[in-house]
Amino acid sequence: MARIVIPVAVPKSTNHMVGMPPVPKWKDQENGIRAVDRDSGAPLFTLTLFVMGEERAETMKVTVPQTGLPNGLHIGRFVRPVGLVATPWARIFNDQLQDGVAYRCESLTLVESPALGQNVTVPQDAAA
């Protein structure tokens, strides 16, 4: 079966913040076999990003090769995914269909400050 890879556009107005640090991705954790990039052979890592648009925020797990992880990466740091793609997947496990979308990027670039969107107004009854 052919693997479908869909390029994902990352608008400049969308902010990506590291929510969880990178953890190793395993091909077979019981036998200690790490997942590696098919082209370069670099070990793969998975991390959680908070994706913040103009009126909503989502979490997204992204796989990145070790060579694409910049120095200075930590929780709360703003980044920009480079070469982000989505791969839909499906499998049957215990007679149940499971499906989803796997995200992967070539690298992450550190961003000094997030993109500023519309002005945020604080409700009148908000505690100071």
Q: What is the mean pLDDT of residues 100-107?
A: 95
3-state secondary structure of 68: helix
- Give the whole-number percent of the chain exceeding pLDDT 70: 88
SS3 of residue 66 by DSSP: helix
- Mean pLDDT, residues 22-48 taken together: 95
At residue 102, the pLDDT reads 94
When the pLDDT of each residue in the chain is averaged and rounded to a whole number, the result is 89
CA–CA distance, 48 with 52 (Å, rounded to integer): 13
Taking 90 as the threshold, does the pLDDT of residue 119 lie above it?
Answer: no
Structural contact between residues 5 and 87, judged by C-beta atoms closer than 8 angstroms:
yes
User: What integer pLDDT is reported at residue 15 of this predicted model?
Assistant: 94
Tell whether the model's pLDDT for residue 5 goes beyond 80: yes
Tens digit of pLDDT for each residue in 44-95? Answer: 999 999 999 878 899 999 999 999 999 999 999 999 999 999 999 898 989 9
The yes-or-no verdict on residue 121 having pLDDT over 60 is: no
pLDDT of residue 58: 94
Q: Residue 40: which residues within 8 A CB-CB, separation 6 or more?
A: 65, 67
> Which residue from 43, 77, 41 is spatially nearest to 63, judged by alpha carbons?
43
